[in-house]
Amino acid sequence: MNRPSLRESNSGHIFSTEKLIFGIGEISRMTGVSTRQLRYWETKGYINSKDRQDEQQQRVYGYATFLKVSGIKTMLDEGYTLAAASAQTDALIQEGLTLRNFVLDAYHGLEEINGRMMLDLGDFDDAGQLRLYAYVEDHHVHYQQVLVSKDRRQ
């Protein structure tokens, strides 16, 4: 009945980060956190490395861990203790994920209607006859309902 939102049509994400994997040295150089600290933080449970039953025993980190380390580093530089920096970063990341899901649920694409680019926000009513659009004018967001005939749905 409703055109799928981006979140539904992309299994939860537009950009895949699952192939972004780094070694401990890379994470260290990217964030400015020493390898010693990374290993220590892991024992404390602040960060996690992927399962490493590999040929050797080297740690492998994913994008999520990179974000976590970056966040901790930033807050550490601002004077937070390691525990507080970790907690604060977790909260920020959680907010970010929630916000991302909110946007992906709402966004159904861009569409030009009567010469104006409109943000498609999906069905406005349960019947699926009214669709909600938004556009920006003079830095203000305007909302507009559009009557949609069923034959033009895809």
Partner DNA sequence: GTTCTTACA
Partner DNA sequence: TGTAAGGA
50 and 62 in contact (C-beta within 8 Å)? Answer: yes
Token pair for 7:
């979140």
Taking a C-beta distance cutoff of 8 angstroms, is the pair 121, 134 a contact? yes
- Interface stretch with DNA, choices 55-63, 88-96, 105-113, 127-135 (CB under 7 A): 55-63
Q: Are 86 and 46 in contact (CB under 8 A)?
A: yes
| Interaction residues for DNA, span 80-139 (CB under 7 A) | 82
Cα–Cα–Cα angle for 78, 79, 84, rounded to 5 degrees: 105
Start-to-end CA distance of the chain, whole Å, equals 10
Q: How far is the CB of 59 from DNA (least distance, A)?
A: 3
For the CB of residue 89, give the shortest distance to DNA in the complex, in Å: 14
| Minimum distance, C-beta of residue 87 to DNA, in the bound complex (Å) | 15
The window from 38-46, 63-71, 106-114, 124-132 that contacts DNA (CB under 7 A) reads 38-46
Q: How far apart are CA 96 and CA 34, in angstroms?
A: 26
Check: CB of residue 130 under 8 Å from CB of residue 150: no
Does 154 participate in binding DNA (rule CB under 7 A)?
no
Q: Is 57 in the site for DNA (CB under 7 A)?
A: yes
16 binds DNA (CB under 7 A): no
Spatial separation of the C-alpha atoms in residues 68 and 89, rounded to whole Å = 6
- Kindly tell me which residue out of 21, 30, 39, 80 binds DNA, with binding defined by CB under 7 A: 39
- In the complex with DNA, the residue whose CB is nearer, 52 or 116, is 52
- Applying CB under 7 A, the residues found at the interface with DNA are 23-26, 28, 34-37, 39-41, 56-59, 76, 82
